[in-house]
Amino acid sequence: MYTPDFDYYAPQTVQEVCSLLTQFGSKAKILSGGTDLMVKLKHGTIDYEVLISLKELNELKGITYQEGKGVVVGARTTHNDLVNSDILNEKYLSISEAAHHMAGNQIRNIGTIGGNIVNAVPSADLPPIFIALGAIVTILGPEGERTVPLEDFFTGPGKTVLAQNEIVTYITIPDQPTTGSNYIKFGLRRSGALAVVGVASSVTMEGNIIKDARIALGAVAPVPMRAKNAEAALIGKEYTDELLEQAGVAASQECSPISDIRGSAEYRRDMVRVFTKRSLKASITKGHSGEHLETEHGK
């Protein structure tokens, strides 16, 4: 294994990134934290002659709250930035918790949300919770800016709506009345395991009635998916454990997992049932919170 030769650019402006991408075409690729890209380059599964680093673009790093817009997360924001953000800890602890249970500390220090999303791996941990919170992706291209709801961003494993010369700049979580949200990553060990199933939910309650609910599933379909049947089973109903079980069953039926070395489709499907139920319950009863294989030992 070795790192092949490539030309390296570290432009000062986002516009420059787009023009370099346009100039070099399919020979060029954006380099953010590099935790996906460099691994693939070393393994020889991809090959680029030009890497365009986002390193100098400090405006893409960080989390702000913008009145009327919501929480805006720059694409270069690292996983540990998400973990340690005061804004997120206060408003959407569920995001910080989701980021906290990714990879290991070294990767969290360098891996970015932009890379996690654009990479479009079905098991990626950040898309489900951002989809459950209705996140919007801001994309910049040579023709200007456009926005896409995150849930419409993915078109297949490794595929997105992004054009070759576009860059993701921000991910925005609009202001919302949600009561709580939650992401459960089900991996096969406590740390450093990719999700076998990931379930995120957000719920808006009115008294005991579920006014609105969003459920997003990871690792059980070609793209992170909304479990719309499960949501429909909940909305307008009174919260009971049986209702959550029904939603779990609906989610398990509408997902389309595959069997691989991490788990059979059958197991994944049933885990969607279990974790949909558990995630919803947490969203209803614990506010914006996080959970990961929470067992006695893990606490």
Partner 1 sequence: MSENTIHNNDYAVIGKSVPRIDGREKVTGAAKYTGDLKFPNMLYGKILTSPHAHARILSIDTSEAEKLAGVKAVITHKDVPSLKYGISPARWDENIFCIDKVRFVGDKVAAVACIDEETCYKALKLIKVEYEVLPAVLDPLTAMDEGQPLVHEEYERNINTEIHQEFGDMENAFKNAHHIRKDRFVGQRTYQSPIEPHSAISMWQDGKLTIYSSTQSPHYFQYYIAREFGMKMGDVRILKTYVGGGFGGKLEPTGLEFAGAVLAKNTGRPVKMFYDRAEMFAHNRGRHAQYMEITSAVDKDGKILGCHTNFIMDGGAYTSLGIASAYYAGALLPLTYEFDNYKFDMFRVYTNLPACGAQRGHGAPQPKYAFECHLDEIARDLNIDPLEIRIRNARRPNTVTPNDFGINSCEIKSCLERAGAMSGWAEKKGKLPKGRGIGVATGSFVSGAGYPIYRTNLPHASAMIKVHEDGTAATLYTGAVDIGQGSDTVLSQMAAEAMGFVYEQMKIVAADTETTPHDFGAYASRQTLMSGAAVKQAGEEVKRQLLDMAASMLQRPVYDLDVKAGEIFSISDSSVSLSFSDAAREFFVRRGPLVGKGSYTPPKLGGKFKGAAVGTSPAYSFCAQVSEVQIDEETGVIDVLDVWDVHDCGMVINPGLLHGQVHGALFMGLGESIWEQVLFDDKGKIVNANLAEYRLPTALDMPKVHSGLIDSYEPAGPWGVKEVGEGSTNPTMGCFANAIYDAMGVRINSLPLTYEKVWRALKEKREKEQAQK
Binders of ligand FAD among 36-65, rule CB under 6 A? 36-37, 39
User: Strand 50-53 and strand 154-156: pairing?
Assistant: unpaired
| Residue range at the interface with partner 1 (CB under 8 A); choices 175-183, 208-216, 231-239, 263-271 | 263-271
The span from the CA of 223 to the CA of 30, in Å, is 21
- 107 binds, options partner 1, ligand FAD, none, Cβ within 5 to 8 A by partner type: ligand FAD
Give the residue with the Cβ less far from ligand FAD, 68 or 104: 104
Asked if 83 touches ligand FAD (CB under 6 A), the answer is no
- 263 binds, options ligand FAD, partner 1, none, Cβ within 5 to 8 A by partner type: partner 1
The span from the CA of 119 to the CA of 124, in Å, is 9
Asked if 45 touches partner 1 (CB under 8 A), the answer is no
Q: Is the distance from CB of 290 to CB of 97 less than 8 angstroms?
A: yes
| Residue range at the interface with partner 1 (CB under 8 A); choices 68-76, 162-170, 227-235, 268-276 | 268-276
Asked if 33 touches ligand FAD (CB under 6 A), the answer is yes
Asked if 242 touches partner 1 (CB under 8 A), the answer is no
Give the residue with the Cβ less far from ligand FAD, 102 or 233: 102
Distances (CA, A) of 123 to 14, 90, 105, 160: 29, 26, 19, 15
- 299 binds, options partner 1, ligand FAD, none, Cβ within 5 to 8 A by partner type: none
The span from the CA of 214 to the CA of 234, in Å, is 10
Please pick, from the candidates 121, 219, 233, 271, the single residue that binds partner 1 as defined by CB under 8 A: 271
Q: Helices 241-254 & 265-285, crossing angle to 10 degrees?
A: 140
The span from the CA of 279 to the CA of 113, in Å, is 22
135 Cβ partners below 8 Å, 6+ apart?
149, 150, 171, 172, 173, 174
The span from the CA of 144 to the CA of 36, in Å, is 27
Residue in the block written with tokens 């009863």: 285
Please pick, from the candidates 11, 50, 274, 285, the single residue that binds partner 1 as defined by CB under 8 A: 274
Please pick, from the candidates 21, 82, 93, 167, the single residue that binds ligand FAD as defined by CB under 6 A: 167
| Residue range at the interface with ligand FAD (CB under 6 A); choices 20-28, 33-41, 226-234, 286-294 | 33-41
Please pick, from the candidates 262, 265, 285, 289, the single residue that binds partner 1 as defined by CB under 8 A: 262
Q: Provide the mask over 124-163, with x wherever binding to ligand FAD is found by CB under 6 A and - wherever it is not.
A: xx--------------------------------------
The span from the CA of 98 to the CA of 109, in Å, is 15
Residues contributing to the site for partner 1 (CB under 8 A): 1-2, 186, 188-194, 261-264, 267, 270-271, 274, 293, 295-298
Residues contributing to the site for ligand FAD (CB under 6 A): 29-37, 39, 75, 102-103, 107, 111-112, 114-116, 118-119, 124-125, 167-168, 194
